[in-house]
Structure 1
Amino acid sequence: MDDLERQLKRFQQRYKVFSQQQQTFTQALDRARTDAFQKTAVVRSINQILGWLDHAVHSATDRRILMLFVDMCRDLDRFRQQVEGHNMVREQLDRNQGLRNSLAKWRTLCNIHNDCANVRVTFPHGEVNHLSCDEARNYFGGVVSLIPVILDTINEVMEHLSSPRLSSTQKSNTSQRLSSRQHSGRPAPLGHPNGTVEERHTRFAPEVQQIPILEGKAPQQSQYHGTEVEDLLKDMQQMKWAASRKPWKP
């Protein structure tokens, strides 16, 4: 799991460098469309960019930035294959529907023939905001949103993988605390099924610990709307107050 998280951080660093060259990327796409006599063509897929690289891109700068995008998409798809082959992922695929959905979305986005024209990245990303309204709506909004959406999907996969591990860790910590309480003789927390009726009452009334309470029989309600132990405490307090008063003298 740790090695997968480290690889994800490396991809995030690579994309951070690429996103700083977004204007160069969109200008290269625009020149590639023009040279391919597709000036009004919408950038729809990775395969479309590969076709322009083979037949319409002649500038070394444009080829470099377009290859940077294609290589990163290819590496993200290879990373998906590595994640799907991980032992932890294979164990959870059958019982984790969210993990299966996230992996399927990841697989679809990395497909070179997938139509990404309608893909849009949302807040807190601002890639689409750096484009003009016409470009974002008609030409480059999908392709500039593709990699950040894939990275967000990978984060969802990592969350699905870490949530079962977190729950199992919490269960083990809880069992360890309960076993330590039993060995140390400390009472279980109030309301816990391991806490008996006698423990729950004597924790709030240590003065009457010597009063026995029958096992398996809950105290009955009285006129004070409390338990019998609470009534005894009230009676004892009244007796103590009466004994402390000085006798009345005429």
Structure 2
Amino acid sequence: MNELKATLRDLEQRYLLFKQQQFTFVAALDHTRENAHDKTKPVSTLSQVQNYLDHYCNNSTDKRILIMFLDLCKDLSEFCSQLEDINPKACSPDDRLEKCKLLLSCNNDMSNIRAK
């Protein structure tokens, strides 16, 4: 349990760092979408961000922030799986953990998600 708490603290710190750099992230997405000649279609999945990183990102700052975002999402997904492994019976389809896992899946369409 202490390991999970440490992992959660690490994720929170990395999230705060990412949050401070959100404008850099948005700019990086814009640059890679421009390089891909894909400005009309919204970015809707993590797979799409990974594709932009792999094929259209040629700036080290853009690479760094896109990798930071994808790593954070991957680690959050792994953290959700660890939580589920602790008590798999506690996770119902309506559970927040299940919703979190769905949101973090690579092909989930996030285009309708809005920040509050």
TM-score in terms of structure 1 length: 0.44
Aligned to 2:107: 113
What is the distance in 2 between the residues matched to 1:35 and 1:118? Answer: 24
Within-5 A mapping of 1:136-147? none
Partner of 2:95, secondary structure, is helix
Q: Would you say the 8 A contact 2:103–2:110 is kept in 1?
A: yes
Aligned to 1:59: 59
Gaps (5+ residues) in structure 1?
123-250
Q: CA deviation at 1:2?
A: 4.0
Partner of 2:79, secondary structure, is helix
Question: Deviating runs (4+, > 6 A) in structure 1?
Answer: none
TM-score in terms of structure 2 length: 0.90
Q: Please list the CA deviations of residues 3-26 of structure 1 after superposition, one character each: whole Å capped at 9, or x if unmatched.
A: 323322221111001111111110
Rg larger in 1 or in 2? Answer: 1
Q: Would you say the 8 A contact 2:33–2:39 is kept in 1?
A: yes
What is the distance in 2 between the residues matched to 1:3 and 1:71? Answer: 19
Aligned to 1:72: 72
What is the distance in 1 between the residues matched to 2:64 and 2:92? Answer: 39
Partner of 1:55, secondary structure, is helix
Q: Would you say the 8 A contact 2:92–2:98 is kept in 1?
A: no
What is the distance in 1 between the residues matched to 2:74 and 2:113? Answer: 18
Root-mean-square deviation (CA, aligned residues, Å) is: 1.8
- Give the percent of matched residue pairs that are identical in Structure 1 and Structure 2: 38
What is the distance in 2 between the residues matched to 1:26 and 1:51? Answer: 16
Aligned length: 116
What is the distance in 1 between the residues matched to 2:65 and 2:33? Answer: 15
Question: What residue identity is the alignment partner of 1:102?
Answer: R
Q: Would you say the 8 A contact 1:46–1:112 is kept in 2?
A: yes
Q: Please list the CA deviations of residues 199-221 of structure 1 after superposition, one character each: whole Å capped at 9, or x if unmatched.
A: xxxxxxxxxxxxxxxxxxxxxxx
Within-5 A mapping of 1:140-219? none
Aligned to 2:84: 84
Within-5 A mapping of 1:124-139? none
Question: What residue identity is the alignment partner of 1:111?
Answer: S
What is the distance in 2 between the residues matched to 1:80 and 1:62? Answer: 27
Partner of 2:110, secondary structure, is coil
Aligned to 1:14: 14
What is the distance in 2 between the residues matched to 1:2 and 1:61? Answer: 34
Q: Would you say the 8 A contact 2:24–2:65 is kept in 1?
A: yes
Higher normalized helix content (fraction of residues): 2
What is the distance in 1 between the residues matched to 2:81 and 2:98? Answer: 11
Gaps (5+ residues) in structure 2?
none
